[in-house]
Amino acid sequence: MKRVSISQEVEIRAAYDVIVAGAGASGICAAVAAAREGAKVALVERYGVVGGNLTAGFVGPILGSVGKGTMRDELVNLLEVPDNDWIGETGKAHDVEKAKLVLERFVDLPNIDVYLQSTVSSVLKEGPRVHGVVLSTAEGQFALEAPVIVDATGDAVVSFLSGARIEKGRDDGLMQPVTLEFTVDGVDETKGLICIGDVDNVELNGVRFLDWCSSQAQKGLIPKQLAAVRLHPTVIPGQRQVNTTQINGVDITDVKSIFKADLELREQMFLLEKFLKENLPGYENIRITGSGTTTGVRESRRVMGDYIIDAEELALGCRFPDVVVHKALFIVDIHNPAGAGQAEAKIQYCKPYDLPYRCFLPSGIEGLLVTGRCISGTHRAHASYRVMSICMAMGEAIGTAAALSAAEGISPRSLSVKTLQKHLTDKGIDLFSE
């Protein structure tokens, strides 16, 4: 590989108490939580809108559940969606266009500076301590400094650039498939069915709908990897959020692969629209009204931390003395990395479980916290905690930890967990109930 040397001084544009990289569901909660603790916060986002999968990704409903009192409850209310149960049976997808405004209002606080269309391209690091990020923007490159950085990028960009230990996928390296969600309207609500996913036994003409979809794929009416057709209701009657398009074998951190994946997913969208119109009662008059502006990624990098949580602990409803997210709950939802539907013949259910603070501390790195789907866990555990309700609660806890660490002038690893827990419970967050 040919390498060239580029000598360029980077201006340090501003200093903050906390920098949050990534303004998805977890990042916006981290930024607001830190700001509410009094920290001066920079919130950095590579897209032109905050919200991540809530907006740019077109993902809904907001799946999973956590203990009472977290920012997740606040956001569900702000987005005006019914409070769904842990697998979304009664939940509806939010209005994405309204969410773009609501979430920008949510982060528009006097002590938060939001940097949109700004990509983290490098980090400032001395020894093991990360103390800033370099942004690539329309103004060129410049740096922001802070004693504490929160990596909420999903793809663990800051952690990767900082030299953290990273893992991807299962033992063979394969990751869950990528998807592009889209919305259709024109559904006849008197006939148009709802299918929340692989745990749903809704029927079509006396046959389990997902089995019927599989038979249609076997006949070649839809590609085999699209055999699980998931149709979620939204807050707007006559709409469905379609979570079905799929490409296997994509590593979203390999940037040259993104365009071809996006192109194929968009081809699949219109193939599915035609299939639903021609074959599903109540869907005869549907049309696509919107889609994600970015490929939907279930899995990429995971940052190995001071503790690596596994799915067996989640199944048992594990408890930890350094709990910062309590009663998290979702199935181990592994979309097949090598085919359609689920990767495992039997879906593993979990009991409400804790996430310990140690999972948010990248091993060997100081001044850095992670939050969202890139926290420290195994491939199978990640498949449960990666959903948005749980990621929102993570963000609030880690944003609070970041602000407290900055105020005390210490690395997050040195922060008293009991102090952090007290700040969370004082806000009404349930951390210890049975």
Q: What is the residue-level pLDDT of the chain in tens, covering all 434 positions?
A: 666 555 568 999 999 999 999 999 999 999 999 999 999 999 999 999 999 999 999 999 999 999 999 999 999 999 999 876 544 444 799 999 999 999 999 999 999 999 999 999 999 999 999 999 999 999 999 999 999 999 999 999 999 999 999 999 999 999 999 999 999 999 999 999 999 888 889 999 999 999 999 999 999 999 999 999 999 999 999 999 999 999 999 999 999 999 999 999 999 999 999 999 999 999 999 999 999 999 999 999 999 999 999 999 999 999 999 999 999 999 999 999 999 999 999 999 999 999 999 999 999 999 999 999 999 999 999 999 999 999 999 999 999 999 999 999 999 999 999 999 999 999 999 999 99
Distance CA 328, CA 307 (A): 17
Tens-digit pLDDT profile for residues 212-229: 999 999 999 999 999 999
Residues 6+ apart with CB under 8 A from 325: 66, 67, 70, 354, 355, 390, 393, 394, 397
Tens-digit pLDDT profile for residues 230-282: 999 999 999 999 999 999 999 999 999 999 999 999 999 999 999 999 999 99
Confidence at residue 6, expressed as pLDDT on a 0 to 100 scale? 54
- DSSP-derived letter for residue 346 is S
Residue 374 sits at the vertex; the CA angle it makes with 269 and 410, to the nearest 5 degrees, is: 145
Confidence at residue 381, expressed as pLDDT on a 0 to 100 scale? 98
Confidence at residue 86, expressed as pLDDT on a 0 to 100 scale? 46
Confidence at residue 197, expressed as pLDDT on a 0 to 100 scale? 85
What global pTM score does this model have? 0.97
Distance CA 384, CA 14 (A): 37
User: Two tokens at 308?
Assistant: 């690596």
Task: With beta carbons less than 8 A apart as the criterion, state whether 240 and 184 touch.
Answer: yes
Confidence at residue 322, expressed as pLDDT on a 0 to 100 scale? 98
Task: With beta carbons less than 8 A apart as the criterion, state whether 324 and 401 touch.
Answer: yes
Distance CA 316, CA 207 (A): 34
Residues 6+ apart with CB under 8 A from 357: 322, 323, 324, 397, 401, 417, 420
Going from the C-alpha of 260 to that of each of 114, 175, 205, 247, 361, the distances in angstroms are: 31, 17, 37, 10, 35
Closest CA to 229 of 192, 256, 255, 174: 192
Distance CA 11, CA 384 (A): 41
Helix (H, G, I), strand (E, B) or coil at 98: helix
User: Two tokens at 54?
Assistant: 């809530």
Contacts 24+ apart (CB under 8 A), 273-279: 273/184, 275/216, 275/221, 275/222, 276/184, 276/229, 279/216, 279/221
